[in-house]
């Protein structure tokens, strides 16, 4: 069998101007330009072996011998001014090709008119073919690979978008009922309760907080996977942030009979530049983990500084970790071992996210442990000192400020189509001493604002007929068309959609802030008063 050919007819013609295409029976079907010029088409339709003399290899007397020839072929064409062709026999489908160029030995011919392109690209025509055929196949493979990669990328992007949409929807669907559970429980906690009722309510609040943390962890993981989690570094009081982040941890540790030691004596500047939300998230995760796994003894928090690098260590006197457990500790949905998951619970995401956050901030999170003696988790972060003037402004802003008398001058409207959310906000505002009106959708909210010109609106995002963004845009347009001296309405988005896209869209539409459900009374109180 002759070597199989994958080049196109045009490519064969360009490489081998003396080519001849034969049928399965050896009849000439087409010839290259060099033979066309010299035979005027007289070879078409005739048996190939009747039109040529095979000079090499010797012993080829019929077409069957010719098509099994695997070496170089030299033939002479008496009807084409006796020119000599040098080439090889190749097969594609049911056709055979004599891929040839003129032999360089044409000095004895009298026909003349030879052109450079009449000759093979090299004396060794087989090598020329193989190189061209290889190049073509590589190009085809490269094109196929590029197409496959493009299709795979498109599928991955579509999957990412679908996952983002799913997470946004599931976040909304979970946060909405969770808002009812946590919101009412927080309000009830400020009322008069028996010890038994207080204990049950504490369990409800704790379970709600656990579910909220798991939901937030899953959303953060999705953002990290899509490279969409953005840091927001600002000037902070480092010591105050550490103490605030670990305050609930200390309270829990003391309830469990553990000593909680904070040793922050260091030459580190008090005011640094960092992302306070992610810093608190890392320290909170490490602190609660230490308390969870420590049955007796102590939790110790310490800090050291080397240049701009700050190392914060949380050490416990818990059971410690084996080398095998430490190796898988930072993997997603993994814990030290299966017994840990069964005994203590947890999703196995806290430490994974903590290390990811630390690395996103330019640092790292590492662990050392001695089995039976405890573990030490150290987060190292580059925290450059804040400029003196900025540090001074932080210090002054951290001083206690007098808040206005509760409810003074506030005319509030809550716009939400969910009765449970309306009831939760009514109870919270009652506790603040603020009277509030309600509208059960965006369109009703705009109409209520037209009539009463509220100076505070709490707006949900996802509502039928007119959503929150549309309602905000309408109100802002009405304000722009009205009296320029009239007080601008403060608008807070209160939504179960806590994605960065939702927050950005809210602010772009004209909102003054965004609160994520489930709401807490203290966070709502701070957000409202920050606008007045």
Question: What pLDDT, on the 0 to 100 scale, is given for residue 403?
Answer: 42
**Burial bucket for residue 42 (CB in 10 Å: 0-12, 13-18, 19+):** middle
- CA-wise closest residue to 212 among 175, 163, 252: 175
Query: DSSP assignment of 87-105, as one string?
Result: EEEEEETTEEEEEEEE-S-
- Which range is least confidently modeled, 215-229, 278-292, 451-465, 479-493? 215-229
Number of H helices, E strands in the chain: 16, 18
For residue 515, what is the DSSP state?
A: E
The arithmetic mean of pLDDT across residues 290-308, rounded, is 91
- In this structure, are residues 445 and 436 in contact, taking their beta carbons and an 8 Å threshold? no
Q: Does the reported pTM lie above 0.85?
A: no
- Cα–Cα distance for residue pair 138/144, rounded to 1 Å: 10
Phi then psi dihedrals of residue 217, to 5 deg: -60, -45
Average pLDDT, the chain: 79
* Res 107 pLDDT > 60: no
* Res 426 pLDDT > 80: yes
The arithmetic mean of pLDDT across residues 488-496, rounded, is 90
> Domains, the chain, ranges and CATH?
9-123 (3.30.450.260), 153-225 (1.10.287.130), 234-395 (3.30.565.10), 412-529 (3.40.50.2300)
Torsion on CA atoms 359, 360, 362, 363, rounded to nearest 10: -30
Question: What pLDDT, on the 0 to 100 scale, is given for residue 128?
Answer: 57
The model's confidence at residue 397, banded by pLDDT at 50, 70 and 90, is: very low
Question: What pLDDT, on the 0 to 100 scale, is given for residue 78?
Answer: 83
- Which range is least confidently modeled, 226-235, 263-272, 404-413, 464-473? 404-413
Which of the given ranges, 58-62, 172-176, 391-395, 496-500, has the highest pLDDT on average?
58-62
Question: What pLDDT, on the 0 to 100 scale, is given for residue 516?
Answer: 84
Residues 6+ apart with CB under 8 A from 177: 420
- Cα–Cα distance for residue pair 177/186, rounded to 1 Å: 14
The arithmetic mean of pLDDT across residues 460-471, rounded, is 90
Tokens representing residue 391 in the block: 């540090």
Higher pLDDT, 145 or 121: 145
Q: How distant is the alpha carbon of residue 484 from its chain centre?
A: 44
* Res 398 pLDDT > 70: no
- In this structure, are residues 249 and 285 in contact, taking their beta carbons and an 8 Å threshold? no
The arithmetic mean of pLDDT across residues 304-325, rounded, is 90
* Res 419 pLDDT > 50: yes
Higher pLDDT, 70 or 360: 360
Residue 275 exposure: Cα atoms within 13 Å on the Cβ side: 17
Q: Are strands 374-382 and 234-237 parallel, antiparallel or unpaired?
A: unpaired
The model's confidence at residue 485, banded by pLDDT at 50, 70 and 90, is: confident
* Res 383 pLDDT > 70: yes
The arithmetic mean of pLDDT across residues 168-175, rounded, is 72
Higher pLDDT, 125 or 484: 484
3 state SS of 131 = helix
Which of the given ranges, 90-104, 177-191, 317-331, 387-401, has the highest pLDDT on average?
317-331
Query: DSSP assignment of 231-246, as one string?
Result: ---EEEEHHHHHHHHH
For residue 386, what is the DSSP state?
A: P
* Res 113 pLDDT > 70: no
For residue 405, what is the DSSP state?
A: P
């Amino acid at each position: 069998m002759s070597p199989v050919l994958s080049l196109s007819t045009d490519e064969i013609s360009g490489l081998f101007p003396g080519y001849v295409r034969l049928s399965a029976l050896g009849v000439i079907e087409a010839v290259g330009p060099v033979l066309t010029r010299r035979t005027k088409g007289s070879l078409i339709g005739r048996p190939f072996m009747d039109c040529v003399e095979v000079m090499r290899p010797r012993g080829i007397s019929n077409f069957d011998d010719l098509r099994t020839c695997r070496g170089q072929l030299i033939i002479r064409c008496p009807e084409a001014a006796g020119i000599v062709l040098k080439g090889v026999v190749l097969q594609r489908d049911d056709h055979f090709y004599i891929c040839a160029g003129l032999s360089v030995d044409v000095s004895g011919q009298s026909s003349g008119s030879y052109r450079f392109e009449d000759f093979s690209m090299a004396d060794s025509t087989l090598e020329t073919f193989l190189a061209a055929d290889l190049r073509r196949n590589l190009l085809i493979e490269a094109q196929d690979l590029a197409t496959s990669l493009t299709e795979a990328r498109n599928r991955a992007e579509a999957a990412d978008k679908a996952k983002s949409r799913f997470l946004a929807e599931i976040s909304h669907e979970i946060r909405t009922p969770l808002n009812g559970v946590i919101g009412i429980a927080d309000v009830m906690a400020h009322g008069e309760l028996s010890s038994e009722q207080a204990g049950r309510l504490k369990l409800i609040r704790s379970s709600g907080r656990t579910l909220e943390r798991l939901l937030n962890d899953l959303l953060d993981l999705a953002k990290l996977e899509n490279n969409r989690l953005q840091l927001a570094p600002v000037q902070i009081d480092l010591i105050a942030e550490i103490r605030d982040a670990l305050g609930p941890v200390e309270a829990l540790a003391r309830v469990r009979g553990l000593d909680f030691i904070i040793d922050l004596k260091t030459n580190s500047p008090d005011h640094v530049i960092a992302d306070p939300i992610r810093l608190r998230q890392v320290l909170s995760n490490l602190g609660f983990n230490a308390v969870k796994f420590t049955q007796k003894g102590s939790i110790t928090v310490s800090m050291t500084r080397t240049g701009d690098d700050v190392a914060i260590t949380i050490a416990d006197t818990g059971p410690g970790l084996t080398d095998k457990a430490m190796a898988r500790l930072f993997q997603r949905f993994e814990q030290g071992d299966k017994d840990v998951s069964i005994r203590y619970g947890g999703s196995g995401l806290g430490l994974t996210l903590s290390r990811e956050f630390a690395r996103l901030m330019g640092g790292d999170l590492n662990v050392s442990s001695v089995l039976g003696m405890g573990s030490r988790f150290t987060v190292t972060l580059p925290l450059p000192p804040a400029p003196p003037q900025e540090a001074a402004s932080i210090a002054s802003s951290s001083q206690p400020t007098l808040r206005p008398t509760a409810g003074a001058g506030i005319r509030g409207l809550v716009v939400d189509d969910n009765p449970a959310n309306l009831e939760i906000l009514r109870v919270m505002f009652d506790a603040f001493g603020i009277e509030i009106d309600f509208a059960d959708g965006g369109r009703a909210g705009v109409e209520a604002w037209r009539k009463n010109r509220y100076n505070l609106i709490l707006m949900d995002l996802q509502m039928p007929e007119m959503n929150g963004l549309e309602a905000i845009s309408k109100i802002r347009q009405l304000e722009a068309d009205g009296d320029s001296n009239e007080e601008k309405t403060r608008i807070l988005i209160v939504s179960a959609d806590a994605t960065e896209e939702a927050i950005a869209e809210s602010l772009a539409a004209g909102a003054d802030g965004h609160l994520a459900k489930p709401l807490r009374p203290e966070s709502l109180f701070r957000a409202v008063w920050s606008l007045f």
